[in-house]
Structure 1
Amino acid sequence: MNDCPTLMSAPHPAARPADLPRRHYSLATLPSLIAIWRERIRFRRGLEEMWKANPHMIEDIGLKRWQAEAEIAKPFWQP
Protein backbone atom coordinates (compact mmCIF):
# COMPACT_ATOMS: atom_id res chain seq x y z
CA MET A 1 0.00 0.00 0.00
CA ASN A 2 1.60 3.22 1.14
CA ASP A 3 5.14 3.17 2.58
CA CYS A 4 4.77 6.52 4.39
CA PRO A 5 5.13 6.31 8.17
CA THR A 6 1.99 6.99 10.13
CA LEU A 7 1.47 8.39 13.59
CA MET A 8 0.75 4.89 14.84
CA SER A 9 4.18 3.63 13.76
CA ALA A 10 6.18 6.44 15.40
CA PRO A 11 7.04 6.07 19.08
CA HIS A 12 5.49 8.62 21.40
CA PRO A 13 8.12 11.17 22.50
CA ALA A 14 7.01 10.97 26.14
CA ALA A 15 7.16 7.17 26.27
CA ARG A 16 8.90 5.83 29.36
CA PRO A 17 11.92 3.59 28.90
CA ALA A 18 11.16 0.02 29.89
CA ASP A 19 13.94 -0.11 32.48
CA LEU A 20 12.47 2.65 34.68
CA PRO A 21 10.16 1.41 37.43
CA ARG A 22 6.69 2.89 37.55
CA ARG A 23 5.49 4.18 40.89
CA HIS A 24 2.04 3.20 42.07
CA TYR A 25 0.20 5.47 44.47
CA SER A 26 -3.04 4.85 46.29
CA LEU A 27 -5.61 7.37 47.44
CA ALA A 28 -4.28 6.95 50.98
CA THR A 29 -0.89 8.37 49.95
CA LEU A 30 -2.33 11.25 47.94
CA PRO A 31 -2.54 13.78 50.83
CA SER A 32 1.08 13.17 51.83
CA LEU A 33 2.20 13.39 48.22
CA ILE A 34 0.43 16.73 47.82
CA ALA A 35 2.02 17.96 51.07
CA ILE A 36 5.47 17.02 49.75
CA TRP A 37 4.78 18.85 46.49
CA ARG A 38 3.62 21.97 48.35
CA GLU A 39 6.74 21.93 50.52
CA ARG A 40 8.95 21.69 47.43
CA ILE A 41 7.10 24.61 45.85
CA ARG A 42 7.54 26.74 49.01
CA PHE A 43 11.22 25.83 49.33
CA ARG A 44 12.04 26.53 45.69
CA ARG A 45 10.13 29.82 45.66
CA GLY A 46 11.90 30.88 48.86
CA LEU A 47 15.25 29.95 47.36
CA GLU A 48 14.42 31.95 44.25
CA GLU A 49 13.42 34.99 46.33
CA MET A 50 16.66 34.72 48.30
CA TRP A 51 18.57 34.41 45.03
CA LYS A 52 17.02 37.62 43.70
CA ALA A 53 17.23 39.65 46.92
CA ASN A 54 20.58 38.50 48.36
CA PRO A 55 22.58 36.30 45.99
CA HIS A 56 25.50 36.15 48.45
CA MET A 57 23.24 34.34 50.95
CA ILE A 58 23.16 31.28 48.67
CA GLU A 59 26.81 30.59 49.44
CA ASP A 60 26.17 31.26 53.14
CA ILE A 61 23.68 28.37 53.28
CA GLY A 62 26.21 26.05 51.65
CA LEU A 63 25.02 25.97 48.04
CA LYS A 64 26.93 26.85 44.95
CA ARG A 65 25.36 29.07 42.31
CA TRP A 66 24.79 26.20 39.86
CA GLN A 67 23.18 24.08 42.60
CA ALA A 68 20.71 26.84 43.48
CA GLU A 69 19.86 27.43 39.81
CA ALA A 70 19.32 23.71 39.25
CA GLU A 71 17.06 23.40 42.31
CA ILE A 72 14.98 26.46 41.34
CA ALA A 73 14.53 25.12 37.79
CA LYS A 74 13.12 21.76 38.90
CA PRO A 75 9.36 21.17 38.63
CA PHE A 76 7.57 20.48 41.91
CA TRP A 77 7.12 16.76 41.26
CA GLN A 78 10.86 16.11 40.98
CA PRO A 79 12.78 15.48 44.20
Structure 2
Amino acid sequence: MTTGPRLSPAGRRGGRGRRPGCPGRLGGSIGVAPLGTAFFGWAGPEGFRHAAGWTFGLCAGLLVLAFLVAFLLPRHARPHDEE
Protein backbone atom coordinates (compact mmCIF):
# COMPACT_ATOMS: atom_id res chain seq x y z
CA MET A 1 0.00 0.00 0.00
CA THR A 2 1.39 3.39 -0.95
CA THR A 3 1.02 6.24 1.47
CA GLY A 4 2.65 9.10 -0.38
CA PRO A 5 1.16 11.55 -2.87
CA ARG A 6 0.58 10.38 -6.40
CA LEU A 7 3.03 11.92 -8.81
CA SER A 8 1.95 12.44 -12.38
CA PRO A 9 4.32 12.23 -15.36
CA ALA A 10 6.01 15.49 -16.31
CA GLY A 11 3.94 15.88 -19.47
CA ARG A 12 0.65 15.61 -17.64
CA ARG A 13 1.14 17.86 -14.67
CA GLY A 14 -1.82 20.01 -13.86
CA GLY A 15 -4.23 17.77 -15.72
CA ARG A 16 -6.53 15.21 -14.33
CA GLY A 17 -6.57 11.66 -15.65
CA ARG A 18 -9.67 10.22 -17.20
CA ARG A 19 -11.00 7.80 -14.62
CA PRO A 20 -14.52 6.75 -13.76
CA GLY A 21 -15.91 9.03 -11.13
CA CYS A 22 -19.26 9.42 -9.51
CA PRO A 23 -21.36 9.23 -12.72
CA GLY A 24 -19.69 5.98 -13.76
CA ARG A 25 -20.17 4.42 -10.36
CA LEU A 26 -23.79 5.56 -10.23
CA GLY A 27 -24.48 4.11 -13.67
CA GLY A 28 -22.88 0.84 -12.68
CA SER A 29 -24.89 0.56 -9.52
CA ILE A 30 -28.12 1.38 -11.34
CA GLY A 31 -27.31 -1.39 -13.80
CA VAL A 32 -26.40 -3.98 -11.19
CA ALA A 33 -29.22 -3.35 -8.71
CA PRO A 34 -32.10 -4.60 -10.91
CA LEU A 35 -30.15 -7.72 -11.85
CA GLY A 36 -29.52 -8.54 -8.19
CA THR A 37 -33.15 -7.88 -7.38
CA ALA A 38 -34.27 -10.17 -10.19
CA PHE A 39 -31.79 -12.87 -9.17
CA PHE A 40 -32.88 -12.98 -5.54
CA GLY A 41 -36.52 -12.67 -6.57
CA TRP A 42 -36.20 -15.79 -8.74
CA ALA A 43 -34.12 -17.67 -6.13
CA GLY A 44 -36.98 -19.33 -4.37
CA PRO A 45 -37.67 -23.00 -3.81
CA GLU A 46 -36.13 -23.84 -7.20
CA GLY A 47 -32.71 -22.71 -5.98
CA PHE A 48 -29.91 -20.50 -7.14
CA ARG A 49 -29.20 -22.44 -10.31
CA HIS A 50 -32.70 -21.67 -11.59
CA ALA A 51 -32.26 -18.00 -10.70
CA ALA A 52 -28.83 -17.86 -12.34
CA GLY A 53 -30.28 -19.21 -15.59
CA TRP A 54 -33.03 -16.61 -15.68
CA THR A 55 -30.65 -13.81 -14.71
CA PHE A 56 -28.21 -14.85 -17.43
CA GLY A 57 -31.06 -14.75 -19.94
CA LEU A 58 -32.05 -11.31 -18.71
CA CYS A 59 -28.46 -10.06 -19.06
CA ALA A 60 -28.20 -11.49 -22.57
CA GLY A 61 -31.50 -9.89 -23.57
CA LEU A 62 -30.46 -6.50 -22.20
CA LEU A 63 -27.14 -6.75 -24.01
CA VAL A 64 -28.90 -7.44 -27.31
CA LEU A 65 -31.30 -4.56 -26.63
CA ALA A 66 -28.40 -2.17 -25.95
CA PHE A 67 -26.69 -3.34 -29.14
CA LEU A 68 -29.81 -2.64 -31.20
CA VAL A 69 -30.49 0.73 -29.55
CA ALA A 70 -26.91 1.80 -30.33
CA PHE A 71 -27.84 1.87 -34.02
CA LEU A 72 -30.40 4.58 -33.28
CA LEU A 73 -27.64 6.98 -32.22
CA PRO A 74 -26.58 9.59 -34.79
CA ARG A 75 -23.47 8.73 -36.78
CA HIS A 76 -21.99 12.21 -36.58
CA ALA A 77 -22.10 14.82 -33.86
CA ARG A 78 -23.99 18.01 -34.51
CA PRO A 79 -21.73 21.02 -35.09
CA HIS A 80 -21.61 23.67 -32.39
CA ASP A 81 -23.62 26.80 -33.12
CA GLU A 82 -21.45 29.89 -33.28
CA GLU A 83 -22.74 32.48 -30.85
TM-score after normalising by structure 1: 0.33
- Larger Rg, first or second structure (1 or 2): 2
Q: Which has the higher contact order (CA 8 A, sep 6+)?
A: 1
Decide which structure has greater helix share. 2
What is the TM-score normalised by the length of structure 2? Answer: 0.32
